[in-house]
Structure 1
Amino acid sequence: MKAPGHEAALALLASVALGIALVLYYQPTVYASPSFLPLDSRVTLFKTLNSTDMLLVLSLPPYAQLEKTRLGCIANASSVEATAPGLSLEVRREGGLYCIYASAVNPTPQFTSVEVRVHAALLQGQTEQLPAALLVAVAAVGAASYLSLTEKGRDIVFRVASVPVAYALVNRENALRNARRRLIYEYVRRNPGVGPRAISRGLGISFGEVQWHLSVLERVGLVARASLVKRALYYPAETPLHEWLPSFARRELGIRVRPEHVQRNEYRIRVLLAKGCTVAELKALLASTS
């Protein structure tokens, strides 16, 4: 097993080597092809059709709902257009990137794949000087690699790094190494169906930080989300609906419903939650199944 110091040294050396390579091979005028940076585990780059067009595939789990979810960002482009059947897509300019946001619902009990076609217009060219932002990015990669070796360092990365860099550091295997994220996950396990504001109050963690950690936990598949009007309900992804919904209904809605009744009407309930139902609609459906 490598010592943390060795891993840190390797990370820093790799960053320095990358910086040197960029300086040595950077040409006076660069026409870089657009590239896709995925920021959601449900989207993949299926193929690059040509220098300006690419095909992404978004995999929606059963009864999943996306609401202005950032799929990923395009670099090295002067403008970006994205289209997909059945999806509401929005492209936002964020610094030097064009980020694609999607809203969609999969009301079926099967996984559904949707193709997203992206057209990214080429840049007209870059200045003859190596951009300072590129050197800063190289330094940031090295710093983030070094800091992420410790929990304190990962907290620093969370506070100061950009969203793409911070997302790149977290996967399913290491997501719970962060102490606060682990607290939030355990809180969701103990209180399935809980919302971010309740978590914030219960743990004394700021609402914004709770939202961030929940988005990470959802991205790596540790928690899932249902919608009740404008309220997001989070529960452990591996917990079946009939195991968490009865306790939520008793705690939040004042309704007693048996697990077997939830199982028998699971499809109807999931469709209702996926579209973002009102409290009255959910109470009426649960009351009819009890």
Structure 2
Amino acid sequence: MLFSSAKLSALNDRLYRGGCSLSDVRYWHAAAAASFALLLLLLLAQREPAVSKPYLVVVSPAAKLLSVEGNGSTYLFEVEVPPLSLLSRERIACVYEAAVVRVESSAGEALLEGNCIFLTVQNPGLAPLAVKLEVVSQQKSSSAEPPVAVIAAVTAVAAASYLTLTESGREKLFAALSVPAAYYVTRYEDVKRSAKRVKILEYLRANPGATMRRISREAGVSLGEVQWHLSILERLGLVQSVKIGKYSCYFLTGTPVETWLPSFVERELGAKIDARELEKLKPGIEPLLSRRSIPLGELLNLLKAGEPSR
């Protein structure tokens, strides 16, 4: 017997004191599963052809979007390359709901892989080098938009499930729901039309390595909405996260560790990392990053080992 009657009773008492009985948990568990199935069915049932408006997300901190022309089909960027430096396969931007037909750069080599544009360029000079990058895309057709009100209602029912009783539970639920929801966003919704999603992306561009609670507090978006939007953005490949101790920190895809990790350490741990010292620590950090999890003790040990001797 997995649980004795006494242990089961104690568990039920703990749940009840938290505002939810064991039977409530089972009920909301079933409600979440039913809501998820209904949402998936609604999304996959759409068959009418339509044309989706293309949209672009800039992911490189070195890139700046200068203009959008031709009804959103031609994008002009400026990429700043620091003196005496090399950008090697720098991910500049990703285009969605469109096929990129031409990529041209004023210097270096621009490549298209999947739906993302990469740039390799070297600046041997002593002054910053401004590289102009032009991306021309062509719209493609996709399925028609499912009823937004129904999608919102079904998602709201699922969000009320027992998993939302804790923050970790909400993360698990939103991660699961974002599978069909990411399908919805990539096919039917221009990211720019969601003001809160754009606000989160802009906040992460300025504050890489931010935690969910800090984004919520400083961007003025509720914690639940931040969790939901981040789960969608991760599914779309626009945002990545790494767990450091009890923290989950988020940054735009392609942001180098030398950028987001010092920012995280300064904000959350009240310490500073010298970029040159961090470069020396990368061999020890990269295996941890591949697991998307860094035990806080290991990070502190690495930082301590990298401190210059006094």
The TM-score bracket by the shorter chain reads: 0.3 to 0.5
TM-score under structure 2 length normalisation: 0.42
Task: Using structure 1 for the length normalisation, give the TM-score.
Answer: 0.44
